Structure 1
Amino acid sequence: MNEDWRTDLDCWLSPFITALRHKTRARMCPAYIAGLIGPGDRKSVQPMAARADEVGYDQLHHFVAVGAWDSAPLEAALLKKADDLVGDKAGFLVIDDTALPKKGCHSVGVAPQYASSLGKTANCQSLVSVTLASREVPVMVGLRLFLPESWTGDPERMARAGVPKDRRTALTKPEIAIEEIDRIVASGVRFHCVLADSGYGSSGPFRQALSERRLLWAVGLSRRQNVYPADVALIFPVAKTGKPRQYHVPSQPPVAAEALLAKEKWQRVSWRRGTKGRLTCLFAARRVRVADGHKHRMLDNRMQCMPGDEVWLVGERRSTGEQKYYVSNLPADVSIKTLAATIKARWICEQAHQQLKEELGLDHFEGRSWTGLHRHALMTMIAYAFLQSRRLSAAGRKKKNRGTTATTEHASHQTSYPRPLRTISTQAMPVL
């Protein structure tokens, strides 16, 4: 990109500056975001301040970690920008989490916990992430810290880290995700379907909460999750002795998702074109009822969950031999190709996580407080949205200069990621 990127950034940030309503903060916000986008391997406050001419360390640190200002108006402005960029009634809202490795034990939320990006348990902070995506272009719109039990069970520790009083209750990651979804839906952001991995999809209350909000969803599922065939009936068996049963029971026993799909017809499905050709895998799909309804005691004294609503159960067999399972409330008449394309659209959030960390310093914040961490995360999301806006504008200009009249499918390839996003030098912003 050309050398006027700073001017463009100042103009693009206008709604955020207005939301801050403070002259000094109006200077610090662009300076902080420019520091994240600009050169340098380290994007913590001290090195960013050292590279900046117009602001000092104390000013930047006060802005992000100490200053008394509300981030909600900036979060609302980010949602508006994201909707303008990729909001689409055919788009996706992707729920996931990302880990920030940390040393020590004083940074808010840090604890030994599973880090999906590392594939193992590590000392880290874990953030629930929400990504709005369309045409394979992601914009991160939410990052909220998960507090493990070692924190929620220690009020003094939470107080020292500045955890707000209304956030000191224990919440699971699916519960945090539902709060974020409610915030985003209330803002009017456009999307078609909620996507999540099995860490969220295996939670019955999470799926039910999405359905109660009349949202479409496609989420990962444990292969051990019990399901019923869609044609299961509810009956009242007649007892030979004793009182008659007060509640109905399923006519068939539930089986594991893996077992139910094992004998199904698996077919090779291609869902989109990648850099090395068409992306394909073996898929199988069947209508089922997940065993996540209310529990009844059976005749043999076992507690058994009743059938829930009818949904799609989808299996995926990868070339590596790995098998994955998913469940979705997409309509009963959708094709298996649509199911596969919807499920696989979730992976775009991993690219956003990587770029936020490697290029914008999401995991570089060195403060310990709840407020500082969330403000830093918000600044990285705003910076990322700005870079995505520049990239989409550049793609649009290139397409216009070619004088093409692309189809919708071709346009989606134009705006997908042929290569990673790159950061900005002090002289010029590179072509994205």
Structure 2
Amino acid sequence: MLFDDLLFTVGQRFRRPEPRRRVRDFVRGLLAPLPRKNCWTIAEHAGDAGPDGMQDLLTRVKWDDVAVRADVREFICEQFGDTEAVLVIDETGDLKKGRHTVGVQRQYSGTAGKIENCQLAVHLVYATEVVHAMLDAALYLPKSWCDDPQRRAEAGVPEQVRFATKPQLASRMIETAVTAGLPCRWVAGDEAYGADPRLAAQLRQLQLGYVLAVACSHQVTTSLGVYRVDALATGLPASAWQRVSAGRGAKGHRYYDWSFTALPAHRDQHGGHHWLLIRRNRTTGELAFYRCWSPEPVPLHTLVTVAGRRWKIEESFQAAKTGLGLDQHQNRRWTSWHRWTTLAILAHAFLAAATAHRDRPDPAGLIPLTVNELRHLFNVLIIEPTRRHTDPLLWSVRRRRHQARAMKSHYARQALIEP
């Protein structure tokens, strides 16, 4: 069974049988339809007498989350590796209260669409034509955190961690994946990554083609001089636009008007071919711009396909947050955040691989299995019939005792500072 094979591989990273069992139970808890996912609810679902074992798995037990993510990468490579795959990079934010959770500060969150008190992480997704899976993640540590030794120590941030921009974090993850032999050909990302010339230079050095979004104010060099990309778009004739689908959607093909212009003046020591790709919404006329590069010439529809595949990471975020508890963690420290995220990535990789395995054609009238539908079936058919059950009254007592202690502690702390 695919789930057992993956957990057996990951289990070799643990020396003792207890943490191996807890990892299996933890991932099964992430896959289960629990209303809220944390160490307490996952432990109760697993049939444990208390949450201590699950909490220890994220904090005290010795295991390397980087090595586990390497196992997941190898699993993805074996199950649905594709030389034409796209590595998609993007960040997502988790809204948080207070200031003690590692990486939290007031900063712009694309998830909220405004500046909020939140925690940001850069994610890497592996997207083929038929399936996509979360591959890696890196927590963004703002400069205010990096320059504060006390906060670093309280959150357990390793000594060697230094400030890195989001494109730098993405660059490290991409280089790690490519160096490890993961088959891929393209990288896609939004404006935050298209605006960084160092990331683009490294991708060219790795001989990875890219389609990276840029702002309308981005400037390119043509044979006639330097122009803003929005100024170039206004001068294009009607014949320069082609109607091409950016991919299949639930309600049909996602058709846009596209135009691409070669940028020979941008050639450098890495060779290859540069383009400016422009997308125009057929209804509103809204424009989007992309800087593109490939080691060899490619047609327009190839660049459009890569640009359209960037949205796979949004689907991954949605599936991981709504179904796997990616953003429901209650972990304040560096190590526990990475371990929770790693196990959520592992769970998503399993679901993605299972949907990629369709040995027989789908019956007429049915769409292929989705990640969400497979998660539901896996829970109903596999997890529920075999899982242990604990006395719900004992868990009720434990929760209320824990809440009473917390309340008493809060009142005692308040009494020290209030008259």
Q: Which residue of 2 aligns with 1:44?
A: 38
Q: Which residue of 2 aligns with 1:263?
A: 235
Alignment of 1:311-322 (within 5 A): 311-318=274-281, 319-322=283-286
2:310 paired with 1:346: yes
Q: Which residue of 2 aligns with 1:190?
A: 183
CA distance change for structure 1 residues 324 and 416 in 2, over 3 Å: closer, same or farther?
farther
2:44 paired with 1:72: no
Distance in 2, Cα, partners of 1:43 & 1:107: 18
Distance in 2, Cα, partners of 1:290 & 1:29: 53
2:242 paired with 1:275: no
Q: Deviations over 1:49-72 (max 9, x none)?
A: 122214631011001122222223
Distance in 2, Cα, partners of 1:418 & 1:426: 12
Distance in 2, Cα, partners of 1:145 & 1:261: 37
Instruction: Could you tell me which runs of 5 or more consecutive residues in structure 1 were left unpaired when the two chains were aligned.
Output: 1-6, 233-251, 294-307, 405-412
Asked if structure 2 preserves the Cα contact closer than 8 Å seen for 1:39 and 1:424, the reply is no
Asked if structure 1 preserves the Cα contact closer than 8 Å seen for 2:27 and 2:347, the reply is yes
CA distance change for structure 1 residues 55 and 24 in 2, over 3 Å: closer, same or farther?
farther
Asked if structure 1 preserves the Cα contact closer than 8 Å seen for 2:247 and 2:308, the reply is no
2:327 paired with 1:384: no
Distance in 2, Cα, partners of 1:268 & 1:196: 22
1:104 CA drift (Å): 1.2
1:179 CA drift (Å): 0.8
Asked if structure 1 preserves the Cα contact closer than 8 Å seen for 2:208 and 2:294, the reply is no
1:281 CA drift (Å): 0.4
Distance in 2, Cα, partners of 1:220 & 1:113: 21
CA distance change for structure 1 residues 32 and 155 in 2, over 3 Å: closer, same or farther?
same
Distance in 2, Cα, partners of 1:93 & 1:322: 26
Q: Deviations over 1:217-245 (max 9, x none)?
A: 1111111111111xx3xxxxxxxxxxxxx
1:170 CA drift (Å): 1.1
Asked if structure 2 preserves the Cα contact closer than 8 Å seen for 1:42 and 1:364, the reply is yes
Asked if structure 1 preserves the Cα contact closer than 8 Å seen for 2:89 and 2:189, the reply is yes
1:335 CA drift (Å): 2.0
Instruction: Could you tell me which runs of 5 or more consecutive residues in structure 2 were left unpaired when the two chains were aligned.
Output: 384-419
Q: Which residue of 2 aligns with 1:171?
A: 164
Q: Of residues 376, 381, 389 in structure 2, which corresponds to 1:428?
A: 381
Distance in 1, Cα, partners of 2:230 & 2:266: 14
CA distance change for structure 1 residues 415 and 79 in 2, over 3 Å: closer, same or farther?
farther
Q: Which residue of 2 aligns with 1:153?
A: 147
Distance in 2, Cα, partners of 1:30 & 1:424: 18
**TM-score of the aligned structures, taking structure 1 as reference length:** 0.81
2:64 paired with 1:100: no
1:368 CA drift (Å): 0.3
Q: Deviations over 1:335-367 (max 9, x none)?
A: 222221111111001000111110000111102
Distance in 2, Cα, partners of 1:290 & 1:420: 49
Q: How many residues are paired up?
A: 376
Distance in 1, Cα, partners of 2:5 & 2:49: 19
CA distance change for structure 1 residues 49 and 269 in 2, over 3 Å: closer, same or farther?
same
Distance in 2, Cα, partners of 1:38 & 1:418: 13
Q: Deviations over 1:150-206 (max 9, x none)?
A: 211212111110111111x11000111111111111211111111111110111111
Code of the aligned partner of 1:148? P
3-state SS in 2 of match to 1:207? helix
Asked if structure 2 preserves the Cα contact closer than 8 Å seen for 1:44 and 1:365, the reply is yes
Alignment of 1:29-428 (within 5 A): 29-54=23-48, 56-167=50-161, 169-229=162-222, 232=223, 252-264=224-236, 265-288=240-263, 311-318=274-281, 319-330=283-294, 333-393=297-357, 395-399=358-362, 422-423=375-376, 427-428=380-381
3-state SS in 2 of match to 1:195? strand
Asked if structure 2 preserves the Cα contact closer than 8 Å seen for 1:98 and 1:128, the reply is yes
Code of the aligned partner of 2:235? K
1:428 CA drift (Å): 2.2
3-state SS in 2 of match to 1:364? coil
CA distance change for structure 1 residues 55 and 256 in 2, over 3 Å: closer, same or farther?
farther
Q: Deviations over 1:12-45 (max 9, x none)?
A: 3110011223222111110110111113111111
CA distance change for structure 1 residues 425 and 80 in 2, over 3 Å: closer, same or farther?
closer
Distance in 2, Cα, partners of 1:10 & 1:422: 15
Identity of aligned residues (%): 30
**TM-score of the aligned structures, taking structure 2 as reference length:** 0.83
CA distance change for structure 1 residues 417 and 281 in 2, over 3 Å: closer, same or farther?
farther
Code of the aligned partner of 2:232? L
CA distance change for structure 1 residues 68 and 272 in 2, over 3 Å: closer, same or farther?
closer
1:138 CA drift (Å): 1.0
CA distance change for structure 1 residues 124 and 420 in 2, over 3 Å: closer, same or farther?
farther
Distance in 2, Cα, partners of 1:356 & 1:429: 20
Larger helix percent:
2
Aligned alpha-carbon RMSD (Å) = 2.6
